Structure formats: structure tokens, C-alpha cells
Chain A
Amino acid sequence: MPETIAPAGLTRRNFLWLGWSALVGFLTSGAAAAARFFFPNVIYEPSQKFNAGPAQDYPMGVSTKWLNEQRVWIIRTEKGFYTVWARCTHLGCTPNWFADQNRFRCPCHGSNFSSDGDVIAGPAPKPLYRCAVEIASTGDLIIDKAVIEGRSGFRDKTPFFANFKATV
């Protein structure tokens, strides 16, 4: 008896719908899985935190001492320290510091920033980021480039500014 062999409801039309849907579902999830494949789960990159040496050794103003190795400028003011991450907020090149002009200037698209990191000219959309900075009990500057802040008001407070008075 044929009626008992084919389950009721699964018509030829529905079977085809099911088949095609399954194929589309398989291809879609396959594409999604392939996309996920390109996101590595483990990356081997250096730590973003480093010791920049004794705070008292830094002169007033912008220091380029760590630019080549850690890509930050360390800026000492009367009140203390802040660090500017040397990554242009436009497209990520490293600007250069021009002490005579009191500007950071980017070599890739010509953005200009003040020593505070604010945009003066060029295409950069945002101020330069500052990194978290603290003075360890040893008197060393500890800088963490994984913690960054660009908004004025926030960037002038802990942990992006470390109070420091010179001990004569």
C-alpha cells in the first residue's frame, strides 16, 4: 500500500524545498565557517607594557628616546608625565617631532598635531592617543600601550597622567 510508504505531508514539492534549503543552509554556514577560519585564535605579539626607566632622568618637554623601540613619546611637564602613542590617528604612520615648530608632523598624509596631540592641520580625524603611564615604587616609568585615551578631559587624568615633582 503506497500511502503507508510515503509519510503524509512530504510531497515532491516540499521535498525539493527541503533539499534546496538544506543546500543553501550548508553553503551559507560553510561561507561563515570559512570567514571565521581567517580570525586567528592565538596571536604572538610582543607585550604592550614596558619600563621606560627612571622618571627623574627625563628632561622637560618631549622625549623621543623610546620612539624607535616602543613607538611612544614621553612628555614631561611641570606637574608630571604623559605619553603620546606615536601612531597617527589618520592611517597609522609614525609622525616626527619638530621641537622648533612645537608640532608632531606625519610623513604619510601631512597631519600636524600639537604637543598635546591635538590636530592642527591635515586629514587626521582625532587627537593622538595617550598611553597609560604610572610611576613604580622604584621611580621607573611604566607605560602600557594597550590602554589608550584621546579625549581631552579624560586623557589628562589618571592613568594617562602621572604626577611627578622633581626631587632636588
Chain B
Amino acid sequence: MPGLNLEQIKKSIIDSQIWRSMFRGGVWKDNPRDRAAHIIGNIWLHLHPVKVRKRAIEWTYTWGLGGISFMLFLILTVTGVLLMFYYRPTIDLAYQDMKDLEFAVTLGKLMRNAHRWAAQAMVVFVILHMVRVFVTGAYKKPREFNWGIGVLLLTFTLFLSFTGYLLPWDQLAIWAVTVGTNMAGATPFLGNEGPFGSLMGMRINNDVRFTLLGGTTVGENTLLRFYVLHCVAVPLLVGILLIVHFWRIRKDSFSAAPRDPNEEKVEVWPNLIVREYIAAAGTVLVILLWSWLVNAPLEVVANPNVTPNPSKAPWYFVGLQELLVYFDPWIAGVLIPNIIIVGLMAIPYLDQSPGGTGYYSFKERPFANTLFLLGIALWFILIAIGYYCRGPNYQWYWPWESWLVEKAPPAPTWSLPLWAGTLLILAYFGIGLVAPKLIQREIEWKRAFIWCGAGITLLSLGCVFLGGVAWGRLPWLYFFGFAYFLFGFLMPQRHIRNLSWTRYIVTMSLVLMMMGVLLKMGLRLGFDIKYIFTLPQFSLNI
């Protein structure tokens, strides 16, 4: 075809007034000026700097985790908006609409699958992103505030998941939200079942749970409230926080703090932008494949009177569900999550050591990295216990045990008398808090473990001969005893005893509380102790 000159057509399109009005900048010559102008002159790209330190965009430094989290948020926005076209948030219609989406709407099943799997992937990637930022010490000055924003974003990611899973109106939905909102009902002062709730005049129809539900039980109003929270209110809030998060990243020249002031910089176009596109495309591809292969679960329609047996939260909340087994609802459901969130946000203000900022280093950050990863590991151990080791009636079944075999019901639990509990708690926090700082000499590992082993053995023998504890339970004592000794005493003694008193006390309290959760689990699972310390009048049951 002699008349068709592709180059000519392309040139005339690009040179046309319409094209030039949309894409400015003249002929692309691929010189530094063009590459800079492409970033500055493009609304979508201009949040980037023109140049960025080479180390900050290495795959093996960021792993693209933050970018992938954001891409998942975008996928969730698009699939979520599409789902809204076919979903009506009323208890008569919601479940039916889910079934329609699955069986009657073209691509409805794929969109729902993608929404569900992207949501779960987002939880994973936001957590991984946090771990990456932590182990590279990237939360330190001047990035403390942005770490806090990140913690809030993680919280809201989980809250979005929580509000989202009521919407299908199946059994998982109603019971997860029943349990979740009853935790709110156990809030001190503000909940009708919480400590001091009745003192504040809280009743079932005027407390904080009532506002969440829009009623006294999970019903029509609850579904509507959660729908609005999930689709409008929380995404808006997350969007605002994301803007601040990204802005700060840009202002702080990305995460990898310079190791020397004249570090090599590369152009953002194409170096960073290409990586972003690859990560985004990969994310979409994986989510689509996954959604094509695996269907999102949907249980039977919600029944507000009968709970499935066992009833389990979605995996990312099973850890919290497992925690609720060991403590009073307001402690496990309100206090501990709040301490975790505030504790995470406090980390940059507690850890002021300059070393190990902007690169992976366990040698320079032995205490911070070990304890943080231990916390993350504990959370996932709780999840694993709840997910794999709990069977009918939420009883302990090992993963290889059949749920069809009925087990003997759990032994009756008992609590320590008040005086003993008070002494134990005071000793744990009193001695545990002060001792590591007062021992100024560095303790030798080998000798420490010999002493610790001897101590636990003595305690074990005491338990067996004086307390009538069965021999078979002693491994529990050894495991939890050594765990506490290593992470709750030896490591702090070795690494943070030279902190200022304020920082030391706050850090050590967080460490002791974390180890305390582990110890309490051991006491319940191994020795049937319901509460160490109990004041039922104030629901102060630990």
C-alpha cells in the first residue's frame, strides 16, 4: 500500500493541536531535560522527585512493598466501586446480591474474588512493608512522624477489612461483627459491659457499641453503617493519610537515608517509574490469576441466633480472637490493641540510636530488630494457634487430629488468690522493670543460661512436689521460662540498660507486657490458670 506511511501518520497525530494541547513538551529527545520535564510536567508523576538516591530504589532494599500495598488499594477501589453497582446493603437483599454476583452477574464472581483476595494481600503487604521499614531503621529521625502515619494506615487497613466483611451478610459476617462490636461494648467508661461503664450510666442502648451498631444487636442499621464506613468514610480517611504519607516520603528523599552526603543519584524517569509499573502490573496479574483460580468464601446466610461451631474470624483477626481466650474482653480487645498501636507509634521516639539507619543491619540493631520481629512472630503464632489448633467449641485440636472425634471438655480453670496475684504482678513488673538496668555488668551468656536452667529446674521441682503439678507439664515451664529470660531479661540487660530512665521504663514496659502475654498463655494452656490477678468488680482480670 503506497499511500500508508505509518511514520507520517504518527508524526501528524503528535504534531496536531489536540495532541500537543494534552501532552506538552515538544519532540521527545530523551535527554536529561526531557526526563526531568516528564516528571515535573505530569500531574500523576509529579509527586516524585526528579532524581533519587540509587540505593533507595533497589529491589533488594524496598522489595516494592509500599508500592504494591498502594496498588492493592487502587485495585480494591476499582473492584469495590464495581461491586457497589450490584450490592444493596439491607439484610433482606445483601446475601441474595452476593449470590447474584457469584452466579448471575457477568464477571461478578471475578470482581468479588479480586476484591477479597486483594484485601487480604493488602493486609499482608502493609505488614511486610512495616517490617521492611523497621529492620532498615527507616523510621528514625526525621521520619518518625511518617512511621506514625504508616501505623495508622495499617490500623485503617484492618478496619476496612473489618467493616467489609459484614457486607456479605453470611454467618462469618454477623458473628465476627457481633464479637467485634461486643469488644467495643467492653470499653472502659464508654461501654455498657466495660469497667466503670455502669458508673457512667452506660446501658445497652446508649453506649459506644450502640452507636457502632445503630441498635442493640447487629441488624439493619449496622449493615448500613458498616456499608457507609467501608465504602466512603474510611477510604476517604485512608486517602488523606496516603497523601500525607507519600508527601513525607518525597520530602524526606525516600527511605534509604544517605550513608554519605554525596551518594549517587539516578533519574526517577525511567529508573523508579519503570519499577513502579512492573510492580503494579505484577500485582494486577497475580490478583487476577488468583481470583480466577480460587473463589472467595461465602458461608450460609446470617442467623443472629445460632453461631457456627467453631466460629473463627478471618485469619488476620484470628490472633486477636485467640488473645481474647486469655484475658478479660476489655483487656484483650481494647487495651492490648491500643497499646500495640500506640507502642508502635512510640518506637521512633524511644529508639534514638543513630546506627543502622537506611540499610539492613542486624549487627547494629540487635535489640530493636529481635524484639520487633519477636512481636510480629508472636502475632502470627497467635494466628496459627487460632487457625490451625482450634476445633469444635474452640477447643485445642492439633492440626492432625480429626474434628469429628469428640474430646473430653476442658478441665475447670482456677484463678490465683488476690494476694498472690498482686504479689506476682508487682514482682513481675517491679523486678522485671528495674533489674536489667541496675545490673551494670554485662552478663556472660553461658553462665546466665546455666543459672536460668537451674532456677527453672528448682521451680519445676517445687511445682511437682509442693504444687502437685504433673511431670508432663514441665516442658511448658522450661519453654516459657527460657523465652522470658532471653527476651525479657537478658537482651534488654545487654542492650538498653544505658538508655535514659524515661525511655528505658517505657521500652521495658512494652517488652514486659509483650512477654507477659506469652507467659499468661503458658499459664492458661499448661496449668489451667484463668486469671493471675482478678478484681471482678472492675473487670480487672489479667
Residues of A within 8 A of B (CB): 35, 38-40, 43-45, 67-71, 86, 90-96, 98, 101, 103, 105-110, 112, 120-123, 125
Q: Are B219 and A106 in contact (CB under 8 A)?
A: no
Is B127 interfacial (CB-CB < 8 Å)? no
Q: Are B329 and A90 in contact (CB under 8 A)?
A: yes
Q: Are B309 and A107 in contact (CB under 8 A)?
A: yes
Known contacts A101-B409, A122-B325: A96-B211 contact under CB 8 Å = no
Q: Are A91 and B183 in contact (CB under 8 A)?
A: yes
Among all A-B residue pairs, the 5 with the closest Cβ atoms: A110-B394, A107-B309, A105-B393, A92-B182, A71-B305
Q: Which residues of B contact A109 (CB under 8 A)?
A: 321, 324-325, 394
Expressed in whole angstroms, the minimum distance between the Cβ of B204 and any Cβ of chain A is 9
Q: Are B409 and A112 in contact (CB under 8 A)?
A: yes
Q: Are B541 and A43 in contact (CB under 8 A)?
A: no
Q: What is the total number of residues of chain B having a CB less than 8 Å from a CB of chain A?
A: 49
Q: Are B410 and A110 in contact (CB under 8 A)?
A: yes
Is B328 interfacial (CB-CB < 8 Å)? yes
Q: Which residues of A contact B305 (CB under 8 A)?
A: 67-71, 86, 94
Known contacts A70-B305, A107-B311, A125-B536: A98-B409 contact under CB 8 Å = yes
Expressed in whole angstroms, the minimum distance between the Cβ of B434 and any Cβ of chain A is 32
Q: Are A40 and B394 in contact (CB under 8 A)?
A: no
Expressed in whole angstroms, the minimum distance between the Cβ of A153 and any Cβ of chain B is 16
Chain B residues 127 to 177 lying within 8 A of chain A, measured CB to CB, are 175
Q: Which residues of B contact A101 (CB under 8 A)?
A: 409
Kindly report which residue of chain A lies nearest to residue B205, judged by CB atoms.
A43
Query: Which of B178, B221, B539, B541 is within 8 Å of A92, CB to CB?
Result: B178
Expressed in whole angstroms, the minimum distance between the Cβ of A42 and any Cβ of chain B is 10
Q: Which residues of A contact B211 (CB under 8 A)?
A: 35, 38-39
Extra contacts, 11 of them, besides A38-B214, A45-B216, A91-B186 (Cβ < 8 A), are: A40-B214, A67-B306, A91-B324, A93-B178, A96-B309, A109-B324, A109-B325, A121-B409, A121-B411, A123-B326, A125-B539
Interface string of B166-198 (1 = CB under 8 A from A): 000000000100110011001000000000000
Chain B residues 308 to 342 lying within 8 A of chain A, measured CB to CB, are 308-311, 321, 324-329, 333
Residues of B within 8 A of A (CB): 175, 178-179, 182-183, 186, 205-206, 210-211, 214-217, 219-221, 303-311, 321, 324-329, 333, 390, 392-395, 409-413, 528, 530, 536, 539, 541
Kindly report which residue of chain A lies nearest to residue B220, judged by CB atoms.
A44
Tell me the interface secondary structure of chain A in the complex. Answer: loop
Q: How far apart sit A67 and B303, CA to CA, in the bound complex (Å)?
A: 11
Q: Are B409 and A91 in contact (CB under 8 A)?
A: no
Known contacts A112-B409, A112-B410, A121-B410: A91-B306 contact under CB 8 Å = no
Kindly report which residue of chain A lies nearest to residue B395, judged by CB atoms.
A110
Q: How far apart sit A112 and B411, CA to CA, in the bound complex (Å)?
A: 10
Known contacts A44-B220, A107-B392, A110-B394: A39-B210 contact under CB 8 Å = yes
Listed residue (B310, B326, B394) with the most chain A CB atoms within 10 angstroms of its CB: B394
Interchain pairs with CB closer than 8 A, number: 115
Kindly report which residue of chain A lies nearest to residue B185, judged by CB atoms.
A92
Expressed in whole angstroms, the minimum distance between the Cβ of B104 and any Cβ of chain A is 29
Q: Are A108 and B307 in contact (CB under 8 A)?
A: yes
Q: How far apart sit A81 and B220, CA to CA, in the bound complex (Å)?
A: 34
Query: Which of A69, A120, A123 is within 8 Å of B324, CB to CB?
Result: A123
Query: Which of B179, B205, B328, B411 is within 8 Å of A108, CB to CB?
Result: B179
Expressed in whole angstroms, the minimum distance between the Cβ of B208 and any Cβ of chain A is 10
Q: Are A94 and B306 in contact (CB under 8 A)?
A: yes
Expressed in whole angstroms, the minimum distance between the Cβ of B173 and any Cβ of chain A is 14
Expressed in whole angstroms, the minimum distance between the Cβ of A102 and any Cβ of chain B is 9
6 A-B residue pairings within 8 Å (CB atoms): A70-B305, A107-B311, A108-B307, A110-B410, A121-B411, A122-B325
Q: Are B328 and A107 in contact (CB under 8 A)?
A: no
Expressed in whole angstroms, the minimum distance between the Cβ of A144 and any Cβ of chain B is 15
Query: Which of B210, B304, B321, B393 is within 8 Å of A106, CB to CB?
Result: B393
Q: How far apart sit A130 and B244, CA to CA, in the bound complex (Å)?
A: 52
Query: Which of A45, A92, A122 is within 8 Å of B215, CB to CB?
Result: A45
Expressed in whole angstroms, the minimum distance between the Cβ of A39 and any Cβ of chain B is 6
Q: Are A107 and B410 in contact (CB under 8 A)?
A: no
Expressed in whole angstroms, the minimum distance between the Cβ of A64 and any Cβ of chain B is 10
Expressed in whole angstroms, the minimum distance between the Cβ of A62 and any Cβ of chain B is 16
Q: Which residues of A contact B394 (CB under 8 A)?
A: 106-110, 122
Q: Are A105 and B321 in contact (CB under 8 A)?
A: no
Q: Are B393 and A93 in contact (CB under 8 A)?
A: no
Kindly report which residue of chain A lies nearest to residue B180, judged by CB atoms.
A91
Q: How far apart sit A1 and B215, CA to CA, in the bound complex (Å)?
A: 63
Q: Are B327 and A123 in contact (CB under 8 A)?
A: yes
Q: How far apart sit A94 and B305, CA to CA, in the bound complex (Å)?
A: 7
Q: How far apart sit A43 and B211, CA to CA, in the bound complex (Å)?
A: 12
Q: How far apart sit A105 and B217, CA to CA, in the bound complex (Å)?
A: 21
Expressed in whole angstroms, the minimum distance between the Cβ of A145 and any Cβ of chain B is 11
Q: How far apart sit A122 and B411, CA to CA, in the bound complex (Å)?
A: 9
Q: Which residues of B contact A67 (CB under 8 A)?
A: 305-306
Q: How far apart sit A5 and B270, CA to CA, in the bound complex (Å)?
A: 67
Kindly report which residue of chain B lies nearest to residue A86, judged by CB atoms.
B305
Q: How far apart sit A109 and B60, CA to CA, in the bound complex (Å)?
A: 41
Expressed in whole angstroms, the minimum distance between the Cβ of A9 and any Cβ of chain B is 41
Expressed in whole angstroms, the minimum distance between the Cβ of A106 and any Cβ of chain B is 7
Q: How far apart sit A126 and B182, CA to CA, in the bound complex (Å)?
A: 15
Q: Are B410 and A94 in contact (CB under 8 A)?
A: no
Q: Which residues of B contact A106 (CB under 8 A)?
A: 307, 393-394
